[in-house]
Amino acid sequence: MRILVTGAKGFIGKNLIAELRNRKYDDIFEYDRDTDPSLLDEYCKEADFVFHLAGVNRPKEQSEFMEGNFGFTSDLLNSLKNHKNTCPVMISSSIQAELDNPYGESKKAGEELIFAYGKETGSKVLVYRFPNVFGKWCRPNYNSAVATFCHNIAHDLPVQVNDPSVVMNLVYIDDVVNELINTLEGNENRDNLFCKVPILHTLTLGEIVDLIFSFKKSREEKSVPNMSDAFTKKLYSTYLSYLPKNEFNYDLKMNVDDRGSFTEFIKTHDRGQVSVNISKPGITKGNHWHHSKNEKFLVVSGIGVIRFRKIDSDEILEYFVSGDKMEVVDIPTGYTHNIENLGDTDMVTIMWANEPFDPEKPDTYFLKV
Q: Active-site residues: which are they?
A: 103
Give the DSSP H or E segment for 217.
helix 205-221
From residue 157, alpha-carbon distances to 150, 153, 209, 213, 246 in Å are 10, 6, 13, 12, 16
User: What is the sign of the dihedral through the CA atoms of 209, 214, 215 and 217?
Assistant: positive
Measured between alpha carbons, how far is 93 from 117 in angstroms, rounded to an integer?
16
Compute how many other C-beta atoms are within 10 angstroms of the C-beta atom of residue 249.
7
DSSP structure class, residue 325: B
Of 109, 103, 97, 11, the closest CA to residue 61 belongs to: 103
Q: How far apart are CA 360 and CA 369, in angstroms?
A: 25
Cβ neighbors of 198 (< 8 A, separation 6 or more) are: 175, 179, 189
Query: What is the spatial distance between Cα 73 and Cα 44, in angstroms, rounded to a whole number?
Result: 12
DSSP codes of every residue in 66-131: HIIIIIHHHHHHHHHHHTT----EEEEEEGGGGSSSHHHHHHHHHHHHHHHHHHHH---EEEEEE-
